[in-house]
Amino acid sequence: MPRILILEELTVGKIAAGEVVDRPASVVKELVENSLDAGSRRVVVEVGNGGRDYIRVTDDGCGICEADAETAFKKHATSKIAKIEDLASLQTLGFRGEALPSIAAVSRVEISTRHESEDFGTFLRVEAGTTKERRRVTRAVGTTLQVKSLFYNLPARISTFKSRATELRRIIAVCTNYAVAYPEIKFELFHDGRLVLSTLGNGKMLDALVNAYGSSLGRELLELKELAAPATSPLVQVRGFISKPAASYSTKKHLFTFVNRRFVRSELVEKAVKRGYGTLLPRHAYPFAVLSLRVPPSEVNVNIHPKKHEVSFYRPDEVFHAVAESVSTTLRNSDLIPEVVKKAGTGSFSRQREKERQREKKAESEEKRRSRRDEAKHEILQTSFQFQRPTTEEVSKNEKEGGGTGGRAGTGTGRGSSELNIRAAPLYQVLDSYIVAQTDADDLILIDQHAAAERINFERLLEKYWQSGRRINNQTLLRPYLPELSPHQLYLLRENEEMLREMGFDLERFGEDSYVVRAIPVVFHGMLGEDEIIEVIERLVEGEGEVEVEVEGEESSKREKKEERLKVLFSTAACKASVKAGEKLSYEGMREIVRGLKAAKMPFTCPHGRPTMIRLTKREIEKRFKRR
């Protein structure tokens, strides 16, 4: 008796639907993509109970003609391509012809549509992939598609849904992604009849970001500088926004990549962004970034997964370096000094308390007024400055007043590192750790002496490395060092012998369970005791272990890894050689650090990503003393 059976059509449809549709957010994604491909100028998404009860998407696109209405729900039916070669010139988000039949196979669908060439519309009701009703209707050009009872015929799938709030959050994320990628289209999202998200549709990506993430984000963003593509490789155009290093996160979830306006997750692009930031971010910190890449369709493969959230570049090296260079150039030409701002709701001058105080003063006697003024003076002296992100209210007011030091929000303009206008004469050292300096604009700059010295020494070491023809010289120890190694340390050395020799360590095996170190990199000359040599080697090896291959090709991989190892080596040496926090400096010592910072190529952070300085603006000082 044969045991291999051909599955019936309905079963095949339910199984295939799981590859495309797994929760309400994936339904919203597919329907919104259809609306965008239809040339819509306005897309309205309505969901009930986190998408469990219904999902309705309405657009003003070209619509579907009467003859194609039923065909659209058949498997692999699409208007986007006719043959496989068309993928090389694909300009749409959809192309597989799987979305509508997959959704219809596991839900109850109603569609009302009218094509721009027809005087009437078409209504269809489809249930479990079968058309139950069809008629003509009167409506405007465009399409409304409603999905009810998702997975009603697959109860086990419903149990995989998360809470209503979680499913709604995922739907918001889908709508937000496409609202940012298509800022010229007006998006609206309603949940249970309440407006959740609305964009202007004015074509400005920054406005779409502000509508989605809040106006306080605008102050933190820098617009990517457009690079002139080399004549030999006009492959990638990079647009978008990145955050200043001070606004960083511990995960990658705030990195958004769009390739030809399709939202994707690309490790290549994410690593290129990190490479562009270089030492401006700590190793395990990530920025907020929205990158929109334009790549010829023939240079990218989007046909990897039914959900189309993965892509493969045919020339990854060029994509990687275009993104990294765009990010790096933008940061080099921007003012990245964090500002000291007043924490919202603290101190005696928050708006609410000030209004209450004004009302109280009207009813108080002259004696009480004097008493309250004395209290206010005391509070002024007690008010502490705190470094944090500005609030929405403060950003809005500051923009109206023309304040801030980073130029207009989101433009990415401002004083670059080449224009760091700190006066060479420092004012004072406080807490034996920080140098107080002043800018030409009369802002106060508080400099972390250790972080600043690290940056200065790091760049000097890099400069010497390049001048020496990319060689790392070593210094022979007065006597060979025979460390006591744990089993873990022993095998670390065995696995990385060649790499350590490239970095300037002269070591050789001594018996079965030990090594002898005869020379160390000259950058550590006079700075390392014997007990610190293995510590530095471990740090270098650990850094090597965290280096990820970011571009394809053996030569590119070796080059990327060597650059990362050099950063670890030179940043460690710079840290060892730098003045420490708590160390009292002479006036000339402070002056030397300020001068070195002014000459640095990237003076805003130490090699490990910590800020070297923060700014207290003249405007903020005058506001605190009630002079504004």
Note the pLDDT tens digit of each residue in 311-340.
Answer: 888 888 888 988 998 998 898 888 777 666
Closest CA to 296 of 235, 238, 386: 235
Contacts of 434 (CB under 8 A, 6+ apart): 446, 447, 448, 449
Least confident of 92-106, 371-385, 474-488, 530-544: 371-385
Instruction: Give the model's pLDDT for residue 147.
Output: 92
CA distances from 444 to 339, 394, 438, 590 (A): 10, 20, 5, 15
pLDDT at 120: 92
Between residues 271 and 491, the one the model is more confident about: 271
Nearest to 115 by CA among 45, 76, 62, 73: 62
State the Cα–Cα distance between residues 335 and 244, nearest whole angstrom.
9
Tell whether the model's pLDDT for residue 366 goes beyond 90.
Answer: no
452 token code pair = 């600043």
pLDDT tops 90 at residue 560: no
Per the model's pLDDT, the better-predicted residue between 5 and 73 turns out to be 73
Is residue 416's pLDDT more than 60? no
Q: Answer yes or no: are the C-beta atoms of 542 and 489 closer than 8 Å.
A: no
What would the mean pLDDT of 157-161 be, rounded to a whole number?
Answer: 76
CA distances to 17, 109, 116, 391 from 120, rounded to whole Å, are 31, 20, 9, 51
CB neighbours of 231 closer than 8 A, spacing ≥ 6? Answer: none
pLDDT higher than 90, residue 80: no
Give CA separation, 165 vs 28, 50, 160, 168, 169, in Å. 16, 7, 14, 5, 6
* Mean pLDDT of the region 528-540: 74
CA-closest candidate to residue 627, choices 219, 367, 349, 347: 349
Q: Rounded CA gap, 135 and 113, in Å?
A: 11
Stronger pLDDT, 628 or 387, i.e. the higher one: 628
Q: Are strands 121-127 and 130-137 parallel, antiparallel or unpaired?
A: antiparallel
Q: Identify the pLDDT of residue 183.
A: 92
Report the C-alpha gap between 101 and 7 in whole angstroms: 17
Predicted pLDDT at 401:
40
Q: Where in the chain is the domain with CATH 3.30.230.10?
A: 215-332
Q: Tell me the residue type at 115.
A: H
**What mean pLDDT, rounded, does the chain reach?**
76
Residue span(s) of the chain under CATH 3.30.565.10 come to 9-209
CA distances from 152 to 108, 127, 625 (A): 8, 10, 65
Is pLDDT at 62 greater than 50 in this prediction? yes
- 348 pLDDT band (50/70/90 cuts)? very low
Region 58-65: mean pLDDT is 92
Could you give the angle at the alpha carbon of 271 between the alpha carbons of 268 and 274, nearest 5°?
A: 155
**Which pLDDT score is estimated for 11?**
57
Residue 549 has a pLDDT of: 43
pLDDT in tens, 39-48: 999 999 999 9
Confidence bin at 225 (pLDDT 50/70/90)? confident
Of 264-278, 294-308, 382-396, 536-550, give the lowest mean pLDDT range.
382-396
Question: What whole-number distance in Å separates Cα of residue 198 and Cα of residue 69?
Answer: 30
Do you know the residue count of the chain?
Answer: 628
Query: Using an 8 Å Cβ cutoff, are 443 and 618 in contact?
Result: yes
What whole-number distance in Å separates Cα of residue 621 and Cα of residue 341?
A: 10
More confident residue, 379 or 92: 92
Which H, E and C letters describe 364-424, residue by residue?
A: CCHHHHHHHHHHHHHHHHHCCCECCCCCHHHHHHHHHHCCCCCCCCCCCCCCCHHHCCECC
- Nearest in space to 246 (alpha carbons), one of 324, 342, 340, 337: 337
The percentage of residues in the chain with a pLDDT greater than 90, rounded to a whole number, is 15
Average pLDDT over residues 236-249: 86
Mean pLDDT of 525-534: 73
pLDDT, position 349: 32
What's the mean pLDDT in 279-294?
85
- Give residue 340's pLDDT: 60
Gyration radius (Cα) of the chain, Å: 31
- Using the predicted structure, report yes or no on whether residue 365 has a pLDDT greater than 90: no
Inform me whether the pLDDT recorded for 34 exceeds 80: yes
pLDDT at 117 over 70: yes
User: What SS3 state is found at 45?
Assistant: strand
Pick the CATH number of 215-332 from 2.40.10.340, 3.40.50.300, 3.10.129.10, 3.30.230.10: 3.30.230.10
Distance of alpha carbon 68 from alpha carbon 142, whole angstroms: 14
Amino acid at 382: Q
Residue 189 pLDDT class (50, 70, 90 cuts): very high
pLDDT-derived band at 123, boundaries 50, 70, 90: very high
CA distance 32 to 55: 11
In this predicted structure, the answer to whether residue 558 has a pLDDT above a threshold of 80 is no
Where in the chain do CATH 3.30.1540.20 domains reside? 422-628
Mutual orientation of helices 530-545 and 487-495 as an angle, nearest 10°?
A: 60
pLDDT, residue 157, reads 74
Measured from the Cβ of residue 429, the count of other Cβ atoms closer than 10 Å reads 19
User: What would the mean pLDDT of 144-171 be, rounded to a whole number?
Assistant: 83
- Residue 427, pLDDT above cutoff 80: no
Of the two residues 374 and 570, the one the predictor is more confident about is 570
Give SS3 for 82. Answer: coil
For residue 353, the model assigns a pLDDT of 38
| Number of CB atoms found within 10 A of residue 535's CB | 12
Position 234 scores a pLDDT of 62
CATH class assigned to 9-209: alpha beta
Of 137-146, 186-195, 200-209, 523-532, which gets the smallest average pLDDT?
523-532
What is the rounded distance in angstroms from the CA atom of residue 392 to the CA atom of residue 397? 9
Q: In the predicted model, is pLDDT for residue 500 greater than 50?
A: yes
Confidence of residue 83 (pLDDT cuts 50, 70, 90): low
Residues 198 and 40: their CA atoms lie apart, in Å, by 16
543/551: higher pLDDT: 543
Please report the pLDDT score of residue 134 as a whole number.
92
**Tokens matching residue 415:** 């004083």
Quick one: pLDDT at residue 341? 54
Residue 303's pLDDT is 65
CB environment 571-588: b (16+ within 10 A), e (fewer): bbbbbbbbbeeeeebeee
The 10s digit of each residue's pLDDT in 580-592 is 888 888 888 888 8
Residue with the bigger pLDDT between 276 and 406: it is 276
Angle at 412 between CA 280 and CA 312, to 5 degrees: 70
Task: Report pLDDT for 411.
Answer: 34
The DSSP H or E segment spanning 460 is: helix 449-467
Which residues is 46 bridged to in the sheet? 56, 190
pTM: 0.62
Which CATH architecture does the domain made up of 422-628 adopt?
A: 2-Layer Sandwich (3.30)
Q: What is the pLDDT of residue 162?
A: 80
To which residue do tokens 């889908």 refer?
174
CB 513 within 8 A of CB 490: yes
